[in-house]
Amino acid sequence: MIQSETKQCQNCKQDFTIEPDDFAFYDKIKVPAPTFCPDCRYQRRAANRNEWNFYKRNCSLCGKSMVSIYNSSYPGPVYCQPCWWSDKWDPMAFGQDFDFFRPFFEQFFEFRHKVPRIALANSQSANSEYSNQSERNKNCYMVVASGESEDCMYGNWYQKSKDCVDSWATKECEIMYESLNCGDCYKCFFIEDCHDANDLYFSMDCPGCNNCFGCVGLRGKSYCWFNEQLTKEEFQKRLTEISWAYEDVQKMKKRVADFWVKHPRRYYQGRKAINSTGENIGYDKNVRYGFNVRFSENTSYAQDAWEARDCMDLTETLDNELDYEMEGSGWGAKCIGMAKSWYNHDSHYSELNFNCHDIFGCMSLRKKSYCIFNKQYSEKEYHILKEKIIEHMRKTKEWGEFFPIAISPFPYNDTIAQDYFPLTKNEVIARGWEWFDRDARDYKVTLPHEKLPAKIGDVTDSILQEIISCSSQDSEKEKASHLRCATAFRLHPAELQFYRRFNLPIPHKCSACRLQERLARRNPRKLWHRQCMCDKNHPHHTGRCPNEFETSYFPDRPEIVYCESCYQAEVA
């Protein structure tokens, strides 16, 4: 019988445990056990991904100006989407032989700088220029990792949603603002972890509710105000008395947070997660250490991974099966070490490939098979050479590991690794990784945020011409915490229309700072072992509940954290 094994991470030097199920998976896909701990493996994948940092640069083929996730320091060719998808160039022209006298990653690092990259991974979208790692969107602006959504702005993980702004992880939602982790919701503002709901305001964990304000932990309720049952008339009267002025909204956020923290929380946010651990999980079975993982089964160490089956170590993926160490990949199976690639199977260590199978070390291929470093082989030749390369990578201890951060196409501070594993410039340089010094912000502010009208009704169209200061610049502490702050911002016409339509005040912070605050509202992507805090008498216990669990609520937090049984006994 396979036993668990404790190893020391070669990167952070901390001990981590490899479970028997992990060994069974590694044996199934024929890779050695990892030498990095789960967090350091996540950091590697995250450092290979730029989601939010957009730059203007010229297409390396047609010369036209374009929006790109590659800044001016990137040395290789970057093509606009029309050029990249066209037949004006041939990625097979960059084909080369594998050199068995050099490590694989060293060769791939040089190769990925030769082959043209697409400016943005944004497929089959209309009027959605500022959209990345997305497909089939319409009229979307500054959205990432989103699909089949329309008229959405400033958010990520919008799936089949419409009219959502400043939100995260909405599935089949319509008209959402500053909301997180919601599904099948309509016309909701400032809510979290709600499903099958409509007309909610400042509410958390209220599935099946409608017309509620400031509530937490309710089920199927209507016309409640801070968990107090009202009549329809009383509720509507209180709602009309809300001024929706900017300062009043900020005060309401504080009041709601103080109210929420007094009510028991389930040890994880999500629903219908069977034999699973993590945070923001739902409709999962046998998921371990998952964060924003939905509709998945037998999957471990995954972040922002939906519809995964029999996988490990996924970051930002959709619909994967028997995949390992994947970043930004979807609709694939039996792959290892793939990045930013969709609709592939039986492929390894390749990037920006679409509708391919049986490729190894390839870049920017479409509808190809039996290729290594973009060179075509027969099926027999491919499999013979592939096995030789794998054996070579075993000797160099590269096989089974994800691309090292040192060969990432992005500087560390342009990637989402900076969001989850923040480092200073000196720390990044000391590790031998790249850092990008952005140009100094010299925006000519025409409207200080302090002079913004308090209510949207007092805002005229002239505000679209203003450059508004970001309030994060007012505090040195806040400025330091928002490393990506744009210092100033303009309103998008569709954004202003949204605020007017729903009587919402103009924000005082740039979209980058709003993003950081939105992400900070989520729990950290770590788990702690804790005991249920319930000390009431329930059918399964008297006095302190003995149940223990893994939770993303670390012990010193103020929330009251319950096990599933105690939580279900307490919610309305």
Give the whole-number percent of the chain exceeding pLDDT 90: 87
Instruction: Give the position of tokens 């700088």.
Output: 113
CB hemisphere CA count around 485 (13 angstroms): 23
**What CATH number has the domain bearing residue 309?**
2.150.10
pLDDT band for 80, please (50, 70, 90 cuts): very high
Q: Is a pLDDT exceeding 70 seen at residue 280?
A: yes
Can you tell me the distance from the alpha carbon of 467 to that of 513, in angstroms, rounded to the nearest whole number?
Answer: 16
Can you tell me the distance from the alpha carbon of 230 to that of 222, in angstroms, rounded to the nearest whole number?
Answer: 8
Q: Is a pLDDT exceeding 80 seen at residue 564?
A: yes
Q: Which of 232, 266, 300 is the last residue of a domain?
A: 266
Does residue 282 share a domain with residue 370?
A: yes
Of the two residues 52 and 381, the one the predictor is more confident about is 381
Q: Which domain holds residue 372?
A: 278-401
| Residue-level pLDDT at 124 | 84
Does residue 259 share a domain with residue 176?
A: yes
For 449, the 3-state DSSP assignment is: helix
Does residue 185 share a domain with residue 201?
A: yes
Does residue 163 share a domain with residue 207?
A: yes
CB hemisphere CA count around 389 (13 angstroms): 22
- Confirm whether 78 is domain-assigned: no
Does residue 396 share a domain with residue 324?
A: yes
Does residue 365 share a domain with residue 331?
A: yes
pTM over 0.85: yes
What is the pairing mode between strands 369-372 and 375-376?
Answer: antiparallel
Does residue 227 share a domain with residue 175?
A: yes
- C-alpha torsion angle, residues 151, 156, 159, 164 (rounded to 10): -40
- Confirm whether 286 is domain-assigned: yes
Q: Is a pLDDT exceeding 80 seen at residue 256?
A: yes
Q: Which of 371, 401, 431 is the last residue of a domain?
A: 401
Q: What is the pLDDT of residues 28-63, one digit of tens each?
A: 999 999 999 999 999 999 999 999 888 999 999 999
- Confirm whether 97 is domain-assigned: no
Q: What is the pLDDT of residues 505-523, one digit of tens each?
A: 999 999 999 999 998 999 9
> In the predicted model, what is the mean pLDDT of the chain?
94
CA 549 to chain centre: 25
Can you tell me the distance from the alpha carbon of 230 to that of 491, in angstroms, rounded to the nearest whole number?
Answer: 38
| Residue-level pLDDT at 295 | 95
Cα distances (angstroms) measured from residue 248 to each of 36, 326, 514: 47, 44, 18
- What amino acid is encoded at 140 in this protein? C
Does residue 386 share a domain with residue 348?
A: yes
Q: What is the mean pLDDT of residues 330-340?
A: 96
Q: Which two tokens stand for residue 568?
A: 């279900």
Q: What is the mean pLDDT of residues 84-107?
A: 97
DSSP-derived letter for residue 539 is T
- Confirm whether 190 is domain-assigned: yes
Q: Is a pLDDT exceeding 90 seen at residue 185?
A: yes
Name beta bridge partners: 91: none
- Confirm whether 365 is domain-assigned: yes
Triad 104, 108, 109: Cα angle to 5°: 120
Does residue 390 share a domain with residue 473?
A: no
Q: Which two tokens stand for residue 425?
A: 């410039």
Does residue 291 share a domain with residue 200?
A: no
Q: Is a pLDDT exceeding 70 seen at residue 480?
A: no
Q: Is a pLDDT exceeding 70 seen at residue 482?
A: no
- Whether the CB-CB separation of 273 and 302 falls below 8 Å is answered with no
- Going by C-beta distance under 8 Å and a sequence separation of 6 or more, which residues neighbour residue 192? 179, 180, 181, 182, 203, 204, 205, 269, 521
Of the two residues 9 and 539, the one the predictor is more confident about is 9
Triad 43, 44, 50: Cα angle to 5°: 85
Backbone angles phi, psi at 319, to 5 degrees: 60, 70
Phi-psi region of 439 (alpha: psi -120 to 50; beta: other; left: phi over 0): beta
Q: What is the pLDDT of residues 407-454, one digit of tens each?
A: 999 999 999 999 999 999 999 999 999 999 987 778 899 999 999 999
- Confirm whether 375 is domain-assigned: yes
Cα distances (angstroms) measured from residue 33 to each of 10, 26, 72, 301, 333: 13, 6, 38, 14, 20
Q: What is the pLDDT of residues 360-373, one digit of tens each?
A: 999 999 999 999 99
Question: How many domains in the chain?
Answer: 5
Instruction: Give the position of tokens 């030789």.
Output: 388
Does residue 293 share a domain with residue 190?
A: no
Instruction: Give the position of tokens 């709601």.
Output: 256
- Confirm whether 73 is domain-assigned: no
- Confirm whether 430 is domain-assigned: no
Does residue 159 share a domain with residue 262?
A: yes
